[in-house]
Chain A
Amino acid sequence: AQSVAQPEDQVNVAEGNPLTVKCTYSVSGNPYLFWYVQYPNRGLQFLLKYITGDNLVKGSYGFEAEFNKSQTSFHLKKPSALVSDSALYFCAVISSGSARQLTFGSGTQLTVLP
């Protein structure tokens, strides 16, 4: 079975400061990892993914994420947060050893304070 944990329900950060949203995973095969963002009253939007190669993945809106196999983590980062980054963020995983369905974490509400 595969699973994703987002240990923080809520993350608050001041505008201009770096932000990190944490994600850890558990899979039986190779992990393929995704980050999605959900703005109020909207569907989920794809931000970035790790499939293979460089452990640092760059995505939309200045976000990046670092894949760490030894720590089974895929934390989302941004060097300088914007108020407009305030949203609900979901981490998700597909395993090569599973039925190749996405499993989502419970989500982290990011609030960037002006």
Chain B
Amino acid sequence: DADVTQTPRNRITKTGKRIMLECSQTKGHDRMYWYRQDPGLGLRLIYYSFDVKDINKGEISDGYSVSRQAQAKFSLSLESAIPNQTALYFCATRDTRESPYNEQFFGPGTRLTVL
């Protein structure tokens, strides 16, 4: 969905490096999410944000941190990357202002490889 963009789309880095993945949305949605996808495991939630001042840990937050710099921007950081963080990372947004059960919209993903 072009309304949710992620940068970079691909990144190769080395163990111990700090990495930031960025997500921007033009949909005006209140909630934003970071997931990682691994083969056979589906999508697992890393962090989510209800708004700029409300950040919450997801299922697998260890080794990650996030920042909601603005309503439209939500970045994910790996403070010291390790090889088992090699995965496909997705940002998503959701509009819950009128209904808590609206669908999520996903960005195109960032493929991260940690050597």
Contact = CB atoms under 8 A, between A and B. Distances in A.
A105 B44 CA distance: 10
Interface in B58-105: 58, 90, 92, 96, 100-101, 103-105
Contacts of A105: 42
Interface stretch (A11-19, A39-47, A70-78): A39-47
A56 interface: no
Contacts of B109: 41-43
Interface string A26-39: 00000010101000
A106 B4 CA distance: 23
Contacts, number: 49
Interface residues of B, number: 22
Contacts of B114: none
Interface string A7-25: 0010000000000000000
A16 B44 CA distance: 34
B48 interface: yes
B45 to A, nearest CB: 6
A107 B1 contact: no
Contacts of A113: none
A34 B103 contact: yes
Nearest to A52: B101
26 contacts: A9-B40, A32-B101, A41-B109, A42-B109, A43-B1, A43-B4, A43-B107, A43-B109, A44-B90, A44-B92, A45-B1, A46-B103, A46-B104, A46-B105, A49-B101, A49-B103, A51-B101, A90-B42, A94-B101, A100-B100, A101-B58, A102-B104, A104-B43, A105-B42, A106-B40, A107-B40
In the A-B complex, the 3 residue pairs with the smallest Cβ-Cβ separation, listed nearest first, are: A43-B106, A106-B42, A44-B106
